[in-house]
Amino acid sequence: MKVQIDPTPVDAVGEALAVLAGRGTYELHRSRHGHQIHARYPWNIAAPRKRPVYPGHRCGQPLTHHTDHTWAQNAPQRTQAEQNTPPY
């Protein structure tokens, strides 16, 4: 199954809004083979979250007010020496 998802995870309210709008929601699973997206069903939605949840993408309809920051990771900071070495 091929799907397109928004790039940022949503909180429970964002997921509810996505479902009410007819958008699917998906969990991001990491494995030794890479990343996989699994569809969420009513029994998944009712259970406590263990992974980030992403809404199905709709152009021009982001759910930015309901971003779930629980899963956010800060980008690693480069040292001064790393900033002066290729690639810039």
Report whether 11 contacts 54 (CB < 8 A). no
Q: Does any domain span residue 80?
A: no
Per-residue model confidence (pLDDT) at position 19 = 94
Domain count, the chain: 1
Q: pTM for the whole thing?
A: 0.75
Q: Which range marks the domain in which residue 41 is found?
A: 12-71
Q: Does any domain span residue 83?
A: no
Q: What is the pLDDT of residues 62-73, one digit of tens each?
A: 888 898 888 765
Virtual CA dihedral for 64, 65, 69, 70, nearest 10 degrees? Answer: -120
